Amino acid sequence: MNCLLCGTNFQPAPTWRRLFLYEKESSTCNRCFCKFTKSNATIQFDDFKGTRYEGVVDTVTSLYAYNEAMKSYLHQYKFLQDVALAQVFSATLHEAFEGKEGIVVPIPMHPEKLVQRTFAQVDELLNSAGIPFQHLLAKTATTEQGKKTRKERLEASPLFEVTTKIEARDYILFDDIYTTGATIHHAAKLLKDAGATRVEAITLIKG
């Protein structure tokens, strides 16, 4: 098959065969995949100490660092809208969620943005990894987080609203990238305020 990233023909090796229902061959050649760096960063929540977001997120796991290879991947996936690229990380994501208890909740896109981007990138990453999820949040704000200062981001009115009843159980937020943490904290606070017992987050990338 041909590598999704460089187009070179390669012999795909099965990434794992532990689950009968989920077995997937890698979609990229080894040379391309090696350019992504696993993230070892411990996420600190110091920015949120003393704010109303303190303690709302229990843990965050980010799987990859934001390097050149990841930058070009994201560009191709998100802006050039190549939905097939959701498969690149399906094995890693599947492993990251394996054995976790809790309802997986992807960070939603604003409906206007979804029209521009044509597909929900965050959802597609989960779909391609065979991870069931539920949409429990709706995006209410369109303002780009990146254009705000840290203080503005923390003080902004909620970016989301809860669209259904939240139970007293565990939830796992999923997003493509963790940068300032504002998005995850806003979402986690809504879930906790609505009754969630524990909220952890998994992101593909640490920005």
> Could you tell me if 134 and 104 are in contact, meaning their C-beta atoms sit under 8 angstroms apart?
yes
CB of 25 to Zn ion, least distance (A): 14
Q: Starting at the edge strand that comes first in sequence, how are the strands of the sheet with 103-106 ordered?
A: 59-65, 198-206, 170-178, 103-106
Q: How many residues bind Zn ion (CB under 5 A)?
A: 5
Distance CA 145, CA 73 (A): 21
Nearest in space to 139 (alpha carbons), one of 111, 165, 117: 111
Residues of this chain, 28-47, that bind Zn ion according to CB under 5 A: 29, 32
| 23, amino acid identity | E
> Could you tell me if 103 and 191 are in contact, meaning their C-beta atoms sit under 8 angstroms apart?
no
First CA to last CA distance, the chain: 31
3 binds Zn ion (CB under 5 A): yes
CB of 74 to Zn ion, least distance (A): 16
Nearer CB in complex with Zn ion: 47/82:
82
Nearer CB in complex with Zn ion: 3/57:
3
CB of 91 to Zn ion, least distance (A): 15
5 binds Zn ion (CB under 5 A): yes
Distance CA 184, CA 3 (A): 32
Q: With CB under 5 A as the contact rule, which of the stretches 6-14, 38-46, 124-132, 175-183 interacts with Zn ion?
A: 6-14
CB of 30 to Zn ion, least distance (A): 8
Nearer CB in complex with Zn ion: 6/19:
6
Among 6, 19, 34, 41, binds Zn ion (CB under 5 A): 6
Site for Zn ion, rule CB under 5 A: 3, 5-6, 29, 32
